[in-house]
Amino acid sequence: MTINHEFRDESPKSVDLLARRNRLLRSLNKASQALTSTLETAHVLERLLQVAIEIIGAYGSSVWLWHEAYPELLVCRAAYHAKTSDNTGDNTVLLDQILEPGQGIAGWTAITGESTVVNHVHEDPRFFPQVDNQSGFHTTSLLAVPMRFQDMVIGVLEVVNKHNGIFDDDDLAIAESLAASASIAIENARLVETLQYQKQDLQAQNEELDAFAHTVAHNLKSPLSRLAGFAELLIIDDAHFTEEEKRNVKQRIIDNAYRMNNIVDELLLLSSVRKADVTLRPLSMADIVNSALERIQHIVDEHQATIILPETWPTALGHAQWIEEVWENYLTNAIKYGGKPPIIGLGARKIENNMIQFWVRDNGEGISDEQQQFLFTPFTRLNEVRISGYGLGLSIVQRIIHKLRGAVGVESEVGAGSLFYFTLPAQDK
């Protein structure tokens, strides 16, 4: 009788390999749970870097995702590199670095959707050394895997400089597994963030509807009441008015009608800015300022204002029609609340973060610190503050500039005039 025994390799080497595989599976399962346990994109990316470096045993890792505004570009959204004698750079330098289509090994991976291992990066023509030059890190080897969600590549996970030895197929399989879990977690987090944004946007719209109704009721009611009152006077007591008094009453009717029309125009502009999507384009600021001055020439003449313009303007990005409204608002306020007569200076200068600051300076009495807090009041809070002459106009300015990725502000000291400014992105050279 013949007895067949199943062959079992129980050598120490096989046992160690099996134990290593089991530890790896447990680590990947734990990592997957960690990645999907948060609903914030930043936390997902942070955990992905940690587990990728820990499990694979490498010095650095980074995540590149498609740019939100320019989907053909890759942007670094998270990065970590351990500091060594060769790598002393700052991790934050790599953040927001941009790769052109197909640029670098990460760009190649994103375009082709293929994983790759490169153990001698400087021998690979796809390697893009500029990233190292800017970040201060020294990459010798790397692996890159696509991050997919529903058959779409959403980004790339890169792991660089293995501690011991070289990257192998096992490392690639681990990275692909991590990238798959992270992709699901990232899309889930984005979905939640989108829903939260939509909820906040809906709440803001509801608040704005209430503010709109309040503004219409209060800002229009006053000139409308005056208009009706003056008209009624002419009808009831026309015979007792002199011709000069009649002209005066009629002029008041016209003034209040124009005031109502201006309020309606401002409300319509405020609403359109919120809803509109515009493309930022290079601005001819000299032409825009001249157009704004033409629109308020009657105010300039009435107050005998002196307007001082710079010889040249730096080129910023924005939406010309809206920026003309900003200048008109700033200039009108500067003239009304400037000195007697007003001397108004305009200017611009390049500031940090590739932005340009534009300003209007007046020679008026200045604005106290307490009042400055309420100048650029959100439209939804206009009913809570009363700063004579400002309010709705500056609320429009604030919304326009924020929509164009800039900021607004005022610098003022009582007795020393005021400087109102806004910032816009500079045109890249």
For 89-114, the pLDDT digits (tens) are 556 678 888 999 999 999 999 999 99
pLDDT in tens, 62-93: 889 999 888 899 999 888 877 665 555 556 67
Angle value at C-alpha 83, between 75 and 50, nearest 5 degrees: 60
Asked if pLDDT for residue 350 goes beyond 80, the answer is yes
Indicate the pairing of strand 343-351 with strand 306-308: parallel
Query: How confident is the model at residue 174, as a pLDDT?
Result: 87
- Reading phi first (left if > 0) and then psi (alpha if -120 to 50, else beta), residue 38 is in beta
Asked if pLDDT for residue 37 goes beyond 80, the answer is no
Average pLDDT over every residue of 342-370: 91
Indicate the pLDDT class of residue 390, thresholds 50, 70 and 90.
Answer: very low
> For residue 47, what are the contacts with CB-CB under 8 A and spacing of at least 6?
31, 34, 35, 38
Structural domains in the chain plus CATH codes: 12-188 (3.30.450.40), 278-429 (3.30.565.10)
> For residue 230, what are the contacts with CB-CB under 8 A and spacing of at least 6?
249, 250, 252, 253, 256
Percent of the chain with pLDDT over 70: 75
Asked if pLDDT for residue 142 goes beyond 90, the answer is yes
Indicate the pLDDT class of residue 230, thresholds 50, 70 and 90.
Answer: confident
DSSP, residue by residue, 333-377: HHHHTS-SS-EEEEEEEEETTTEEEEEEE--S----HHHHTTTT-
